[in-house]
Amino acid sequence: MKNNPLESAKQQLLDIAKILELDKKTVDRLLKIENLVSGEISVKLDNGRIQKFKAWRSQHNSACGPYKGGIRFHEGVTVEEVQALSMWMTWKTAVVGIPYGGGKGGVVVNPKNLSKSELQRLSRAYIKLIAEHIGSDKDIPAPDVNTNAEIMGWMLDEYEKIVGRKEPGVLTGKPLELGGSKGRTEATGLGGSYVLDSFVKKLKKQKKNVSIAVQGFGNVGSYFAKFAYKNGYKIVAVSDSKNTLYNEKGLNIDKAFDYKAANDTFKGFPGGKLLPAEAVLSLNVDILVPAALENAVNEENVSKINARHILEMANGPVTPRAEEVLTAKKILILPDVLANAGGVVVSYFEWVQNLQNYYWEKEEVYAKLKKLMDKAFASVWSEFERLSKVSKKSTLRQAAYSLAVQKVVGAMKARGEN
């Protein structure tokens, strides 16, 4: 398949394994998915008809702790995608220094075609499929594309019915009433804004002079844009699947956010002009922020990229071949395993709160998130500078992967794996 995300994930690992001079046995172990749950789930529709949906849960590596990763509902989900995402989660949790491995789940479905009751039945059926493979000390799912706190609440209820006990720590991103953490909804976007701040300081630029275009205006892209706007950056464009909203002098993101929420479209918004959806990728900006799905920047459109730098808020939005082209142009890419790790960090905070049965205020969550994200950025940048002394072609992704892979390999060796 074209731009297979699993092949991209494997290639990224092979690239850093070569730099780290890892032996073949270790590399093969890191390439292996430890467990893959596959199945078809049956859901009774409101009209009485039974519809089946393909579903998976991929568990990549648990050397550092329980598997951790979201569940996505999307008609484009594939088994290769789910496996790739679980591998990326392994590196992401290692980069930010939280005690997890990587997991990911997905169901092939367009949730917009389901009623709320059908969506709830689908969510409960999915948990029945994976229930024996998850747990607060085994695998801890969370929201991802097209899933949210309400869906996590349904899934938690179903899981607790199956196991016959309360176990709020089995899922994160839950409603506050069921043990969710304050700050979790906006955590991925907020974490990305902290990485943005650290990066701009390295560039020695003023925030007001940094122009940004954001591809994708779902949970991640919209909250990233809101926080960046609040912090004084000039957001000149945001896009959804249908249009790009553009204003070269800068958009009022708060008004755009409210308008989109109320109208489900940017059409008619008075503060900017509409461009085709794909136009966001070719705008002349300081930082392009792909915050939609993987493979957004690929070998077919990489020549159209005019941004000085890229901050990956989606998972795997730049293919390896496209990255080679961008690196040759000296375009720095802040990798997804660092930039969008805020969500899993606050999921970790939620899990800790569940286990302690003691809950924090939003300000404390924000402060703890900033501390971890700042520390992770500093570590990745330091490793980037070290690698750059060896090769001028070194990238921030290689730096992040170097730190992550070394941590996972260290955990494997500590467990006695040779």
| Amino acid (1-letter code) at residue 37 | V
Q: Which of 192, 98, 107, 195 is nearest to 144 (CA)?
A: 107
What is the bridge-based pairing of β-strands 139-143 and 101-107?
unpaired
- 69 phi, psi to nearest 5 deg: 170, 160
Query: Which helix or strand (DSSP H or E) is residue 61 part of?
Result: strand 50-61
Q: Which single residue is written with the structure tokens 């730099």?
A: 19
| Amino acid (1-letter code) at residue 385 | E
Contact status, residue 377 vs residue 199, Cβ threshold 8 Å: yes
* CA–CA separation, 388 and 399 (whole Å): 9
Contact status, residue 233 vs residue 203, Cβ threshold 8 Å: no
Question: Which token pair is 64?
Answer: 């550092």
* CA–CA separation, 61 and 29 (whole Å): 9
Q: Which single residue is written with the structure tokens 């800790």?
A: 352
Q: Which residues pair with 297 in a beta bridge?
A: 318
Query: Which helix or strand (DSSP H or E) is residue 342 part of?
Result: helix 342-356
Q: Which of 389, 393, 381, 387 is nearest to 200 (CA)?
A: 381
* CA–CA separation, 31 and 21 (whole Å): 15
Q: Which residues pair with 71 in a beta bridge?
A: 105, 143
Strand (E) positions, 114-206?
139-143
Alpha helices (H) along 53-148: 79-95, 116-130
Counted residue by residue, the chain has a size of 418
Task: Tell me the HSE value of 58 on the side-chain side, using a 13 A CA sphere.
Answer: 25
Q: Which single residue is written with the structure tokens 């792909």?
A: 290
Contact status, residue 296 vs residue 318, Cβ threshold 8 Å: yes
Catalytic, 202? Answer no
Alpha-carbon torsion (174, 175, 177, 183), positive or negative = positive
> Among the options 10, 68, 92, 104, which is catalytic?
104
| Residues annotated as part of the active site | 104
